[in-house]
Structure formats: C-alpha cells, structure tokens
Structure 1
C-alpha cells in the first residue's frame, strides 16, 4: 500500500478522531485548529510543517518523523516523542501545553521551547545541548542524566535539576530560580 504525498497544503478545522488521517509524507503543510487526539500518526513524515492551535493529546507518534516542524499554541499532553524517528528530529514549541510528554533519550540539540507549560515532561538521558527554554514552566519536569550544556534556562521557572546528575557546563540560569539547582541539598536560601 503506497503512502500519500502532500505538498504546500493547508488543513483547517479537521477532526481526525471523526475522519481517517491519511498517513504519508507532508512537506511544507500547515494544520490549523485540527484534532489529532489519540490518532495514530505512526510512520508519517512531517517536513517543514506547522501545527497551529491543534489538539494532539495522546497522539501516537511511533516512528513518526518531525523535521523542522513548528508547534504553535498546541495541546500535546502525553505525547511520547521518545518513540519518534530521531533521525533529523527538529521542532520548535511556542505557547504549547506539553504536560506528561516525553523526550527521553532523544538527541534534540538546539530545540526552542517558548512560553510553554511543561509539567512532568520527561527529559531523561536527552541531549538538549544549546536548547532554549524561554519563559517555560518546568514544574516536576524530569532531568536525569540530561545534557543541558550551553542550554538557556535563564527565563525558565519551577525546575528542579540536580547538577550532580546532569551535564550543565555553560548552561544559563537566572539568579531568581537558582534554588531549582539546589533542591536536593535541603538547604534554605534567603532573599
């Protein structure tokens, strides 16, 4: 069965929980206000695509390719990006809800997360070198054996990162949120 190829198309207001999603390759396509909740996107390739105001809660992304993809104002609860095809994986996330998502063991250097809610996101053994967390809420995000070298978390907040369990060389943090690096030491910091 051959897969479809879509180029330079805009898909608007489609609820893929009510109609089938066509697997294939999407090149320079835009999805606006679409619902992919628990939809199987497995083995689909998205190249230079934009997802704008889409609900992708619990979307199934095993072996899915995301290459130069922008997620804007999307709901990505529970998406397990760790199952994606990690070859050339590159994405940006702007104003997204990424709660309970996982990027475990991916190499996603230079990824930008901007103004996003990232509660309980799993970054275990993820390579986030040179990545940016701009104005992101990282409440209960998991950083274990994570490479954050040269990452910019200077405007991120509510994170807990153990410097003895992660690579932090030349990473940027704000003075106001520095307590997130000291939580495991059970010390009190006065203002």
Structure 2
C-alpha cells in the first residue's frame, strides 16, 4: 500500500485534443523541431542529432533504434507502446512526459533534468539515470533491474510495485521514498543514502547486509 503521506501528484502532458497525424519526421538534424502531432508506427533508426525538440507530440507504436539524441528537449510528450531501448537522451530536458507500456531497456537519461515524468508499466532494465535531476517523477509497475540511479538528485520521486533488483543508488538521498511495494533485492546504496527511506520489515532484514549487521 502506498504511503499517502509521501504520495504526490504530477502534471500530465498538456496535449491539444485535436492533434493531427504526422506521416514522417524525416532525417533528424541538430536543433530539429517537431511539434503538435500524433506519430504512429514510425521507425526512427540510427539517427544522431543534438538539441532536438519534441513539443506536444504523441508517439504510438513507434520504434527508436540505435538513435542518439543528446541535449534533447521533450515537453508535453506521450509515448504509448513504443520501443526506446538503448536510446541515448543524455543531458536532455524531459518535462510533462509519459512513457506508457514502453520498452525502455538501457535508455540513457543520465545527467538529464526530469520534471513531471511518469513511467507506467515499462520494461526498463539496465536503464541509466545517473546524475539526473528528478523532481515529480513516478515509476509505476515497472521493471528496472540493474538500472543505475547513482548520484541523482531526487525530489518527489516515487517507485510503486516496481522491480529494483540490483539497482545502484549510491550517492542518491532516498529520504521519504516508500519502497515497500517494490523488490529491492541486492540494491546498492550507502548507509547514509538510506536514512529516512521507507522499507518493510522483510526488506529491512535484506538491507541489513549493507550495514554489516548479522541477524540470527
């Protein structure tokens, strides 16, 4: 059960109800600007571009393959049933964005700024979030095994019914985060990072290994 005291709301993407379909976005170039449309069944393959902007866009059943989009800016964007595995979004700004039923395995959001971002029912093992600045970010019913959240700045970040097996969170303050609905087996964090985090009694026994405590 979620701790209502530590729950919070996030803003949804502000998307016009009359968005029209975009048939093609072509070859992305540095500082490309894609705005106001629905992109369905599109494949973005091996594209490399910096500072691309997506604004008021819905991606449906689209695939990003081998693409590197560093310094991107995504505002009011929704991804539905998309495959963004191994996409490189380093140093990007992600604001009012939803990832719904997406594959985000190995996605790289390190050193990015995330504001009002929701991951819902996503497969995201081996994701990279290190050094990200996250405020109002929720992971609901996700798989994030072996993901890297080291040295992040967390402010109103929630994990709900999410698999965090072997995740690395060293250097990230986890105060007030409720992990009781999650699998935290093998989670990596320093003792001072865990101060104020919320765990179940069973989880606490598992985490005792981090503190060198022997329970008999």
TM-score by length of 1: 0.83
Q: Distance in 2 between matches of 1:90 and 1:186?
A: 38
Query: How do 1:137-152 and structure 2 match up within 5 A?
Result: 137-152=163-178
Question: Aligned-pair distance for 1:36?
Answer: 0.6
Q: Is the 8 A contact 1:124 1:146 kept in 2?
A: yes
Q: Which moved more, 1:16-25 or 1:35-44?
A: 16-25
1:10-31 deviation digits (Å, cap 9, x = unpaired):
1101111288999732222110
Counterpart of 2:63 in structure 1 is 35
1:174 correspondence with 2:200: yes
Q: Which moved more, 1:29-38 or 1:159-168?
A: 159-168
Distance 1:144 1:95, change over 3 A: same
More strand by share: 2
Q: Is the 8 A contact 1:130 1:149 kept in 2?
A: no
Q: 1:7 aligns with which of 32, 35, 44?
A: 35
1:124-171 deviation digits (Å, cap 9, x = unpaired):
1112243111001111001212111111212111343556241432x2
Distance 1:24 1:142, change over 3 A: closer
Counting matched residue pairs gives 186
Gapped regions of structure 2 (runs ≥ 5): 1-28
1:75 correspondence with 2:84: no
Distance 1:18 1:3, change over 3 A: closer
SS at match of 1:97: coil
Q: Which moved more, 1:95-104 or 1:124-133?
A: 124-133
Q: Is the 8 A contact 2:115 2:136 kept in 1?
A: no
Q: Is the 8 A contact 1:53 1:72 kept in 2?
A: yes
Gapped regions of structure 1 (runs ≥ 5): none
Q: Which runs of 4+ in 1 moved over 6 A?
A: 18-23
TM-score by length of 2: 0.75
Distance 1:131 1:168, change over 3 A: farther
Counterpart of 2:180 in structure 1 is 154
Q: 1:108 aligns with which of 128, 134, 153?
A: 134
Distance 1:83 1:2, change over 3 A: closer
